[in-house]
Amino acid sequence: MQHINTSIDIAAPVRRVWSILMDFAAYPAWNPFILRLLGLPTPGTRLSVLIQPIGGRAMALSPTVLTATPEREFRWKGMLLVRGIFDGEHCFRLSAATEATTHLVQEEFFTGLLVPFAMRGRLKAGTLAGFHAMNQALKARAESSDA
């Protein structure tokens, strides 16, 4: 198993950060990592996701929503071809650091036969860089008065 974990503090209330995360239609305007996200944040539904690791090629995914607890957690799980080859469980967790500040954790757990080979080098580094870039872009959007 491989695990990528990032976090950031955002000077905006949880409600605002959650609202931005759930506005899938706006992702192309601000998100440098998840270029497209289509679907509903409802457990059991499938999403259509286009991600692009920094320095890598865009990848289309069709994960299933596992959890969508308002203002707390959004989690999905996807796989490459069939379960057990290359699976990823992606999670956004939000908590109130203060009434006006949100602590965001973005992480992914990778499991499967190809993970030891695929999640090293550029793909791992690009995915981690993509998480950080998205976190910074989300912070900028949530803290701006324009969003």
The 10s digit of each residue's pLDDT in 58-75 is 989 999 999 999 999 999
Q: Do residues 31 and 52 touch, judged by C-beta distance below 8 A?
A: no
The count of structural domains within the chain is 1
The tokens of 109 are what? 């757990």
145 contact partners, CB below 8 Å, separation of at least 6: none
Taking a C-beta distance cutoff of 8 angstroms, is the pair 81, 68 a contact? Answer: no
| H or E segment and range at residue 137 | helix 121-143
pLDDT of residue 2 exceeding 90, the answer is: no
Rounded distance between C-alpha atoms, residue 144 and residue 147, angstroms: 6
Question: Domain of 85: which CATH number?
Answer: 3.30.530.20
Distance CA 101, CA 41 (A): 23
The type of residue at 101 is T
- Choice between 79 and 127, residue whose per-residue pLDDT is larger: 127
Query: Which structural domain, as residue segments, surrounds residue 28?
Result: 2-143
Q: What is the band of 147 on the pLDDT scale with cuts at 50, 70, 90?
A: low
* Nearest CA among 113, 143, 133, 136 for reference residue 51: 133
The stretch 123-132 carries a mean pLDDT of: 90
What's the pLDDT score for residue 1? Answer: 79
Q: For residues 12-32, give the mean pLDDT.
A: 97
pLDDT of 97: 86
